[in-house]
Amino acid sequence: MAVMASSKERMLRSRAPMFCNRTVGLCLPIQDFCRTPLLVSTLQERKWLGCLGPRSEMSRGFMRRISSQSNEKFASASANASSPMSALLSDAEILPGRSDDHGGVVVEMNGALMSSDSFLSLLRASISKWRQQGKRGVWLKLPIEHANLVQPAVEEGFWYHHAEPSYLMLVYWIPASKNTLPVNATHRVGVGAFVINQKREVLAVQEKSGKLSGSGFWKLPTGVIEHGEDIFAGVVREVKEETGIDAEFVEVLAFRQSHMAFFDKSDLFFVCLMNPLSFDIQKQESEIEAAQWMPIEEFASQPIVHKHELLKYIVEVGLARFEKGFSGFSPLSITSVFSNRQSSLYLNTEYLNSRSS
């Protein structure tokens, strides 16, 4: 049973500065708000109200500063429908973030390290503020040195989106509606080089590792496009790294899409026609067992080429380009409505040029 407050206690309470929270419909002495975690749940709210204990200099100073004016100020805030408690918080008291183009906010945790408790308080207040502002998705970028903040973020409802060597990206969906945040990158891009000289010889290699190592199978130089690298530049690099051959990119002959490949991602593989600019092979010792110029008929006669349709069609389309005028796709440098940076559009430039002429 609750004990009735004495007349002296009621008198002291009536003189105490009051805080009115419209969200919960209560007006209580600040001390009572400080004792109620559900009403004052964030670090900055506790600091703002002076909820730091009776021995705190900040708390005593706060009480002295507002003793003559707090009742009017807080009552006014409560009566104003657009001023709930979290709206009284300064933007300096929430996590720094920038708006994205889709109604979300991006937070990059750079700078000084932060304790998990302090971060969690700021995160909760920030989400409350962003919810009032109508924000949708929250992108939280945590550099590896801030790894201690992963657990409190996950416990607050964030989930992993993607990771890179130097950071982890977590996301959070604020509205009570279907999550429309884009998923992580779904594809990896690979290239294969069909390098053929005037003697009808193709550049062929045997790899030291992988499924085909030790099988005696000769294959085309292949590799994976690096971050920020164009297809035409990546295939030139791979040929040079594996064989020491300088080659000029001509066009994309064909491409294949497959699924559930590397780490369950989808795979795009571009077969590229290359014109050799040098001919002395210097194989990559770490990855390549052997490399040579091989007559195209000998390359095509390998049993594995007949067994696997991908290899069969690569040879056929390569010869069609070399002998019959088949035309693939060459890069055309362009800009777009989304960016002024140059990018590459791959198309049949021979057809385009013939129409123009």
Smallest CA-to-CA distance from 173 within 132, 139, 122 is with: 139
Rounded CA-CA distance 232/225 in Å is 9
DSSP designation for 5: P
Q: What is the per-residue DSSP string for 230-296?
A: -HHHHHHHHHHHHH---EEEEEEEEEEEESS-GGG-EEEEEEEEEEES-------TTTEEEEEEEEH
Strands 159-164 and 167-173: what pairing? antiparallel
Of 241, 285, 316, 350, which one is the catalytic site residue? 241
H/E element holding 336? Answer: none
Question: In the annotation, is 241 catalytic?
Answer: yes
Q: How far is CA 86 from CA 47, 128, 140, in A?
A: 13, 7, 21
Tokens coding 221: 């130089």
Tokens coding 237: 């690099």
Burial (CB count <10 Å: 0-12, 13-18, 19+), residue 167? middle
Tokens coding 118: 């302090």
Rounded CA-CA distance 275/249 in Å is 6
Give the residue numbers marked as catalytic: 241
